[in-house]
Amino acid sequence: MTDMAILYRGVSKVYPDGTTAVDHLDLDIPAGSLTVFVGPSGCGKTTSLRMLNRMVEPTSGTVEINGQDVSSIPAAKLRRSMGYVMQQSGLLPHRTVEDNIATVPRLNGVSKRTARADARQLLASVGLDESLATRYPAQLSGGQQQRVGVARALAADPPILLMDEPFSAVDPVVRQDLQRELLDLQKRLHRTIVFVTHDIDEAVLLGNRVAVFARGGRLAQYTTPEELLRAPADDFVADFIGRDRGFRSLGFDSATVALQPVAAIVSGTGERILLGPGMRDGATGDGGTDDGGAAAGRVAPWQSAAATDPDWLLVVDERRHPLGWLPVSATGEPAPSDQLRVGGTLWHDGDSLRTALDAALSSPSGQAVAVNGDGSVAGVVPGGDVMRAIEEQRSARYDRPEHP
């Protein structure tokens, strides 16, 4: 295992009124990992987080950071050594965006000019335009405020980042962006991040490791997200993870399935082509691809195209982006274009089995449409192939010989 950045040793928090917020917590958090504390409200996850920067003092037990008991470090100094992002961005309303980001460096004695210059650079790294630097928090959207909150937490370049439900107050679309950006940021920066959320999907998406807390401050399970979905420790965890955990666990297996060509028709021109691996999609009709011979995208008659479903025709636009599917009659004629069925979800080669399976399940033809990075069709995979791939992965996991 890598070295541990954070150690909880027998940590409890009991409030004067007798409620137990955290109950004998033992937890090791590796350096450079993104660890998520997840659980229902009142489970002690935020309390545990706030013990790290001494916003809460434990009733018993010790919290160590890099081998040092936090209670031996002056609170203000300790807090300046780590970044903190909270649900309500907590930005100072009377200061501009750049001065907000510069807060902790300024507390540490960095000159105003340097701190502001650094702040502007940080803006870009959290996906904000530099022109926002002189705005005030009230002039920003919720998502922008959270981004500034993240930039502020990063400003003093802290090795440890504490995030307390940072994305739960923004709308789902923005939340997805923020989650993706956090993962990108972590890939670049390799901080030790402790992230609190009540959303198990967010936990599974972001965490290298997930700590599930139960009511009463008990740590119910602490493991990787894959393991959590596949083998919940008890009924509480299984219940908390909720439905579809088998399906969701597919998200951790990358789909290694072979793409197949698909018969397609170009919307507008009505031109029929074959798209997929080994097919070069030439500019048809003007003879420009004749040298491509049999590998050219053109097929005539199109029914002869191997490995595609004769009952459906994929409709694409002139850039080969998928538009939907048309049913094909017994005589081989495609239905009129007003019968176009909207296509299913799309996946990229290398995406998870979950995405591939969903693409197959949501496709009218039962075939999962894969697209290239530019959005053009890369080929299809029949649903049956995806199921076979799932079965292979399962058997590989459980039938793996104990001794090679």
Partner 1 sequence: MNWLTNNWHTVLDLAGAHLVQSVLPVVLGLLVSVPLARLAAGSRWLRPLLVTGSSLLYTIPSLTLFVVLPLVLGTRMTSVVNVIVALTLYVVAILVRSCVDAFESLDRDVLQAATAMGYRPARRFFGVELPLAVPVMVAGLRVATVSNISMVSVGAVIGIQSLGTLFTDGLRRSIVAEILVGIVATVLIAVVLDQLLRLLGQVLTRWQRPGTGAREAGGRRRRDTRGPGRTAGGARDATGALAAVESGGARA
Partner 2 sequence: MSLVADAAQFLTDPASWSGPSGIPQRLLEHVGYSALTMVIALAVAVPLGLWVGHTRRGGGVVVGLAGALRALPTLGLLTLFTLLMGLGLLPPILALVLLAVPPILSGTYSGIAAVSPALVDAARSMGMTERQVLTRVEIPVALPVILGGIRNAALQVLATVTIVAYINLGGLGRYLIDGLAVRDYARMLGSVVLVAVLALAADAVLALVQRLVTSPGLATAGDRP
Shortest Cβ distance from residue 107 to partner 1 (Å)?
A: 21
Indicate whether 132 belongs to the interface with partner 2 (CB under 8 A): no
Among partner 1, partner 2, none, residue 77 binds (CB under 5-8 Å by kind): partner 2
| Region 122-161 residues binding partner 1, contact defined as CB under 8 A | 137-146
Give CA–CA dist 320/200, Å, rounded: 37
Shortest Cβ distance from residue 123 to partner 1 (Å)?
A: 17
Tokens, residue 288: 């420009």
Q: Which of 17, 72, 131, 138 binds partner 2 (CB under 8 A)?
A: 138
| Region 84-113 residues binding partner 2, contact defined as CB under 8 A | 84, 86, 88-96, 103-104, 107
Check: CB of residue 356 under 8 Å from CB of residue 347.
yes
If binding means CB under 8 A, how many residues of this protein chain bind partner 1? 17
Among partner 1, partner 2, none, residue 258 binds (CB under 5-8 Å by kind): none
Give CA–CA dist 198/172, Å, rounded: 14
Indicate whether 103 belongs to the interface with partner 1 (CB under 8 A): no
SS3 248: helix
Nearest by Cα to 27 from 163, 194, 187: 194
CB atoms within 10 A of CB 160: 21
Q: Residue 351: CB partners within 8 Å, gap ≥ 6?
A: 254, 255
CB atoms within 10 A of CB 385: 19
Q: Which of 38, 63, 78, 264 binds partner 2 (CB under 8 A)?
A: 78
Beta-sheet pairing, 346-348 with 367-371:
parallel
Secondary structure percentages of the chain, helix, strand, coil, to 5: 35, 25, 40
Tell me, residue by residue from 27 to 56, as one string, x for binding to partner 2 by CB under 8 A and - for no binding: -----------------------x--x-x-
Indicate whether 79 belongs to the interface with partner 2 (CB under 8 A): yes
Segment interacting with partner 1, rule: CB under 8 A, options 26-34, 72-80, 84-92, 253-261? 84-92
Indicate whether 170 belongs to the interface with partner 1 (CB under 8 A): yes
Instruction: Examine residue 301 and say whether the peptide bond preceding it is cis (omega within 30 degrees of 0).
Output: yes
Among partner 1, partner 2, none, residue 76 binds (CB under 5-8 Å by kind): partner 2
Tokens, residue 126: 């959290």
Helices 172-189 and 142-154 cross at an angle (nearest 10°) of: 20
Among partner 2, partner 1, none, residue 92 binds (CB under 5-8 Å by kind): partner 2
SS3 70: helix
Shortest Cβ distance from residue 145 to partner 1 (Å)?
A: 5
Q: Which residues bind to partner 1, rule: CB under 8 A?
A: 87-89, 91, 93, 137-146, 169-170
Q: Which residues bind to partner 2, rule: CB under 8 A?
A: 50, 53, 55, 75-81, 84, 86, 88-96, 103-104, 107, 136-139, 152, 162
